Amino acid sequence: MGSTLDSTEAQTLAVIDRLYDTYPDLEISLHFSSRLELLIAVILSAQCTDERVNTVTADLFEKYDGPADYANADQEELAEDLNSVTYYNNKASYIRSACEDIIEQHDGEVPDTMDELTELAGVGRKTANVVLQHGHEIVEGVVVDTHVQRLSRRLGITEEERPEAIETELMELVPEDDWQWYTHLLISHGRETCTAINPDCEECVLEDICPSSKVDNDVDLASNEAW
């Protein structure tokens, strides 16, 4: 009980299979109706809950329509519209700058390549992956958010700490057809059971193959600290 399978590959596949059975109805939790709205929502979601972002964008997307509205928005007014999300001043600046570039360099359309997306203000590889996957239906990598980072380490799938290094390893271990949904499987499990502070190990479908299980182990491999 509470130990990994014989290989990291077998461990990864077992985790994926069990979580598919547990969470059959996977979907992105951010609300959007266009690629630009998706981009903005993902920028806002950095270090902020999707639930909070959805609350803010419900009004934001009614007020602003298209990249020109954001690019021409007053910085202070846009920041005030975002003031219940983390780092709202910075995010307002990122959104304005990104929309200026979308107008000037991409004919008003959200670009569809990793290189072009990551050149936009406030857009790193994680954000770009989300926009590609759910906006353009292009799967080029694995989105590594805090849930994926925590659970992939906790479950003994990776020992890497940086999101970029974790993604590189996951792209070797996770079947390509599962790249997009691996993220949502771990997000669902991270919210429902394998929470950051007090995971419900006794009720977890992965407990018997989890080397961080509190039932049998003393250390949380996500942090390498004692429970």
Listed residue (74, 43, 72, 75) closest to 56, CA to CA = 43
pLDDT value at position 2? 81
Give the bridge partners for 220, in sequence order. 225
| Catalytic residue chosen out of the listed positions 50, 81, 91, 126 | 126
74 an active-site residue?
Answer: no
- For the whole model, what pTM was predicted? 0.92
- C-alpha torsion angle, residues 25, 30, 32, 36 (rounded to 10): -130
- Phi-psi region at 109: left, alpha or beta (left = phi > 0; alpha = psi -120 to 50): beta
CA–CA distances in Å: residue 56 to residues 32, 46, 52, 60, 88? 12, 14, 6, 6, 11
- Which positions of the chain have pLDDT values less than 70? 1
Q: What pLDDT was estimated at residue 3?
A: 83
Q: Which among 145, 178, 214, 220 is annotated as catalytic?
A: 145
In whole angstroms, what is the distance from residue 170 CA to residue 151 CA? Answer: 12
Q: What is the pLDDT of residue 1?
A: 62
**CB contact at 8 A, 131 and 153:** no
In this predicted structure, what is the pLDDT of residue 4? 87
DSSP 194: S
Instruction: Tell me the pLDDT tens digit for each residue of 40-92.
Output: 999 999 999 999 999 999 999 999 999 999 999 999 999 999 999 999 999 99
DSSP state letters, 16-36 = HHHHHHH--S----S--SSHH
**Structure confidence at residue 183 (pLDDT):** 97
Active-site annotation holds for 220:
no
